[in-house]
Amino acid sequence: MSLDRHTLRTVTMPLAMVVGALLCRPLAALESASGNMLTPTLIGAMLFLTFTRVDVRAMRPRLIHLWMLLFQFVGSVAVYHIVTPLLGELVGQGAMICVLAPIAMAAVVIGGMLGANVTTMATYSLICNMVTAIVAPTILHLYGNGTCTFVEIISRVAPTLIAPFLLGQMCRYMWRSGANWLSEHSQLSFYLWLVSLTLVIGRTTCFILDTEADPFVEVELALVALVLCLVQFSVGRMLGRAAGDVVAGGQSLGQKNTVLAVWMALNFLNPVASVAPTAYIVWQNFVNSYQIWRHKE
């Protein structure tokens, strides 16, 4: 990667976040006018571009996948019981959902930019989201305010994860020349990610501004999200180092599907707890910006 291209990637990610925050109202209105389909469509498109590079025959579960799943589910319950006695149930729920959330849809894209094994991450992305749809309803029932089902979660995951994967594989086997061209222009995923990041930050800013909660509690939720973000990226990198792919481990465990996390918090926990995964969106993208700044291909 040339210096100019590296500098462009380094600067544009934080710039997209600033633009999203400053233009939060019109961006939120744009997303609403699209029926809240604009961001999922962008994420689905960039995943399709990434999945055209994945050979399904090379996709195999690995031991690191099991360790990360155990950390996600056992860790979510553990952090609830650690945080709740210290800061109250509301903050405990916010902390729990930041760990319980599965890998982000875009983690495979960012991981690919940072040199991770895309096939390993794609395998974990499919496994993690499917297993989360099975396990999360029980955890949310035990520690939340409502009854969640497998169908409810999988219906929010399938359109932006499973559909792009199937389309990417169809492209590989039915239009090989097209798949090769898309693989050669994989940098398109980054620019799609910038647009979706701007939209997500815009919606996030509006959500925080409009949330009617004790400002002190909001700060606690945001700080807990920051600590958990750093911990999960660190633990993921440690597990990845043991498995021979530091970046894949860090992105798989640290970069969360915060859109799904916010939805679960709003529907099955105290709605104010959703401030934690909302803040997590900001923290994980600061981490991503820093990693892209440090990384040179």
Query: Residues 273-290: pLDDT tens digits?
Result: 989 998 998 899 889 888
- Residue 35, judged by CB atoms within 10 A of its CB (0-12, 13-18, 19+), counts as exposed
pLDDT for the residue 3: 47
Which one is predicted more confidently, 31 or 220? 220
Phi and psi at 102, nearest 5°, equal: -75, 175
Question: What is the pLDDT, as a whole number, of residue 232?
Answer: 97
Are the C-beta atoms of residues 49 and 167 closer than 8 Å to each other?
A: no
Q: Specify the pLDDT at position 6.
A: 59
Give the model confidence (pLDDT) of 74-104 as tens digits.
999 999 999 999 999 999 999 999 999 999 8
Statement: residue 4 has pLDDT above 80:
no
**pLDDT for the residue numbered 43:** 79
Considering only residues 1 and 175, tell me which one the structure prediction assigns the higher pLDDT: 175
Higher pLDDT, 12 or 1: 12
Does 193 score more than 50 pLDDT? Answer: yes
Write down all domains in the chain, each with its CATH number in brackets. 3-294 (1.20.1530.20)
pLDDT tops 50 at residue 1? no
- At 2, is the pLDDT very low, low, confident or very high (cuts 50, 70, 90)? very low
Q: What pLDDT score does 5 carry? A: 61
* pLDDT score of 74: 96
Give the residue carrying structure tokens 């910038």.
Answer: 194
